[in-house]
Structure 1
Amino acid sequence: MAHRFDLEEGKEDELETIEYISKNVEFKGANLWILIFAIFVASVGLNVNSTAVIIGAMLISPLMGPIMGIGMAAGINDFELLKRSIRNLGVAVFISILTSTIYFAITPISAADSELLARTEPTVWDVLIALFGGLAGIIAGSRKEKSNAIPGVAIATALMPPLCTAGYGLATGNLLYFVGAFYLFFINSVFISLSTYLIVRFMKYPKKDFMDPKRETQVKTYITIITLMTIIPSVYLAYGIVKKALWNEQARNFVEVQIQYPNTQVLAAEYHYHVPPKTIEVSLIGDQLPPQELANLRKKLIGFGLEETTLNFLQSGNGTDLNLLRNDILKDLYERNELLIQDKDKKIALLENEILADINARQLSVEIAEEARINHPNLKKFTFGRTLMSDLEKNKVDTLLVAYAQFSPKPTKTESKKLTEWIKVRTKSDTIALILY
């Protein structure tokens, strides 16, 4: 059974893997232009809220190279590769944010849709995706036969969209978006590098040899310091993300389980983790809960692991707060109903115009038939009406007046033309179709 999990099977020569990762570290020439164009594509995808476009941009993005290079360099004590990877990653980040900032500064669409908002704050799932995605990426990179795992890791860990969102934050002056998105990119990058480092050490890649023992000790010290300076803050930040996720889950569970009353409903609940103290704000409608019941609910917070959490209520019947809440609800309902009424009024007006036109056409048909008989004694039957004509070549539909006339004997061409022209004048129409029988 153990052989199924053996990483040595199908493993590429270690020096070849190191060279492969080292080549993908550089950002210059074609690699840099590919990054710029991929950033533009990802920015457009975020701007129009298109998941497919964003995935396509991540597939062509070369951002994974220097991030894996940092983990590889730390694992084999290659200080030169570490410096080169950090320098190239800095260039890639700067170019990416600059490109996306330029795009979002000139685009006419400035609203932040769901794809943008999803990259403004990291979650515990982002940390796990970056860690396990990085493990998959370095293992795939160490194989003789390269698979599509590395592009898949680039998609799963979503390195590029956070940089584009950071550019959006700068372009729109929203520093919270910038900080949150860059924070997400930083967390993803560190944990991909960390997973690369762990696999490199686990698979015992050969470390760089130094002729001078003092130089070797110095390089190891530098790499250790840089690694610790990067990993320790990231682990602390990841721990904070986990704590926030757990608190949010406990807070939602508390509201769903404890605030259940037959004549009182939860209208909305907001959860504020970063606002000291941590706060749950619940808006209630229906019968007011007495002060004693509110106090009991606050005591129950401890049982849900929410000891340092404040529970605030906004209830219907609370004077100004109630009026504000009721006014907001009524205003929202009024605005929605107003839009529905306007839409229905337009449809009704359109239908009324169509019906009126048909009624007028029927009345006019009788009048014109009597007048036409005076000018054309041989006319036996006559009618006309509005119909729809489909133009198959131009792919459009127009309204057309169609007249039906029966003569005995059949009219001459001159008489038919005269009748047609007279109907045009009588109905004030530019075009009319005359069917003779």
Structure 2
Amino acid sequence: MSLRILQVLLPEDDLDRLQEIFDEHGVSHHWCAPLGDARIRTDAIIAAEGNEPLLDALEEAFQDREGFRLLFLPLHATVPRLEPDEDEEEEDEGDLGGKGGLPASMREPEEAVGSKGSRSRINREELYIELDKSSRATPYYLIMVALSAVVASAGLVLNDGAVIIGAMVIAPLIGPSLGLSFATTLGDLQLGRAALLASAAGVATAFTVALLAGIVLDVDPMVDQIFGRTRLTYEHMALALAAGAAGAIAMAQGAGVGLVGVMVAVALLPPLANAGLLIGEGHWDLGGGALLLVAGNVVCVNLAATVAFLVQGIRPNSWWEEGRRQKAVWTAAVLWSLLLLGLIFVVWFAWGGEAPNLSD
């Protein structure tokens, strides 16, 4: 189990109330230190997963107090190891639900079980920091997108699947994609705008690089790696839906964008580079089909990621943000669903949903 050190900074007059909240949420491993100016710092060991109800309770109780702040620090190990409380051992022996003799500070509060879907994921603040950082169109982001497009273009022209996989590994496209879905579930317009701009910049950069490669290189549209990505099919939609859901789930488990980026890049980068290559070579019909594949994958990835975040209980803490969140969710759901239905219509009536065949 991953652990965190939670640091609570607040006036010393609030220590009793802090102790009450810790008791309510089963936090038994904590200690205090004075900071001067009638302020204290309390450190507590908590589980990385399922701590959102505790954090919400602390924010609700102390958000108006001067100097209040919550800090999260990673905890790699603790010596001696945390042991179960003696008065809980008998209860744990009969518990088949999987708490496994954890001490009180590692337990999830009963009211959190199933209430917000947060007991098996990291808290929304950690998710926000990670996705906000990776949803910016920074020079590093654009350079990595351009380099991944170069590698993907080379792999497509060479008809080498291993090279294409290498391009997906280094492509940072997952950050803005998941950032947009995460912003939708929270109703966060600022993060949503940043993620949307970063996504657009990444797509434009990758397409431009591939377009230039298509103008310079001799592109054979009949090789397997290129021709197989010139038509949107139901299989591609299923792949993109699975990639978006897997990326959101892994991100919520604390895997980080670096470990799950291939899940989204597999649905976005190769067809995007393929479209640029074909249009650069002058194959407008095949290039248009590849662009339709890109559009379908973008819709499916964002729809699946949004649903996955919602199922995992991503919610804003403040009640006044709930109305904005619901509006954003409904707007996104209607938009992505209509686009998906439109793409299904095109796929069915254009070529019956079948994959391209070299004999066509």
Judging changes above 3 Å, is the alpha-carbon distance between structure 1 residues 53 and 269 closer, same or farther for their aligned structure 2 residues? closer
Which of 186, 192, 200 is residue 301 of structure 2 equivalent to? 192
Q: Does 1:26 align with 2:132?
A: no
TM-score (norm 1): 0.50
Deviation at residue 247 of structure 1 after TM alignment: 7.1
Which of 281, 285, 297 is residue 172 of structure 1 equivalent to? 281
Q: Does 1:54 align with 2:160?
A: no
For 1:304-323, list aligned pairs within 5 A. none
Match in the other structure for 1:228: 334
Match in the other structure for 1:202: 311
Taking the aligned partners of 1:69 and 1:231, their CA distance within structure 2 comes to 19
1:11/1:143 contact within 8 Å kept: yes
Query: Which secondary structure does the structure 2 equivalent of 1:12 belong to?
Result: coil
Taking the aligned partners of 1:208 and 1:89, their CA distance within structure 2 comes to 27
Judging changes above 3 Å, is the alpha-carbon distance between structure 1 residues 66 and 139 closer, same or farther for their aligned structure 2 residues? same
Taking the aligned partners of 2:252 and 2:237, their CA distance within structure 1 comes to 23
Deviation at residue 105 of structure 1 after TM alignment: 0.9
Taking the aligned partners of 1:245 and 1:171, their CA distance within structure 2 comes to 24
1:77/1:208 contact within 8 Å kept: no
Deviation at residue 191 of structure 1 after TM alignment: 1.3
Percentage identity across aligned positions? 21
Taking the aligned partners of 2:350 and 2:279, their CA distance within structure 1 comes to 26
Match in the other structure for 1:123: 233
1:78/1:207 contact within 8 Å kept: no
Query: Which secondary structure does the structure 1 equivalent of 2:164 belong to?
Result: helix
1:24/1:66 contact within 8 Å kept: yes
Taking the aligned partners of 1:172 and 1:2, their CA distance within structure 2 comes to 60
For 1:264-303, list aligned pairs within 5 A. none
2:149/2:209 contact within 8 Å kept: yes
1:10/1:144 contact within 8 Å kept: no
- Residue identity opposite 1:39 in structure 2: A
What's the CA shift string for 1:156-195, capped at 9, x where partnerless?
A: x431111111111321222222221111112112211111
1:76/1:208 contact within 8 Å kept: no
Match in the other structure for 2:92: none
Q: Does 1:84 align with 2:185?
A: no
Match in the other structure for 1:17: 127
Deviation at residue 33 of structure 1 after TM alignment: 0.6
What's the CA shift string for 1:29-79, capped at 9, x where partnerless?
A: 211111111111110111111111010001100111111112111111112
Match in the other structure for 1:312: none
Structure 1 moving runs of 4+ over 3 Å: 1-4, 6-10, 144-149, 208-211, 216-227, 239-249
Judging changes above 3 Å, is the alpha-carbon distance between structure 1 residues 168 and 229 closer, same or farther for their aligned structure 2 residues? same
For 1:233-382, list aligned pairs within 5 A. 233-238=339-344, 240-241=346-347
1:71/1:193 contact within 8 Å kept: yes
Judging changes above 3 Å, is the alpha-carbon distance between structure 1 residues 8 and 243 closer, same or farther for their aligned structure 2 residues? farther
- Residue identity opposite 1:198 in structure 2: V
1:42/1:54 contact within 8 Å kept: yes
Query: Which secondary structure does the structure 2 equivalent of 1:237 belong to?
Result: helix
TM-score (norm 2): 0.60
Match in the other structure for 1:280: none
2:234/2:353 contact within 8 Å kept: no
In structure 1, the gaps of 5 or more residues are 253-267, 271-437
RMSD, aligned α-carbons: 3.3
Taking the aligned partners of 1:133 and 1:168, their CA distance within structure 2 comes to 24
Taking the aligned partners of 1:148 and 1:96, their CA distance within structure 2 comes to 19
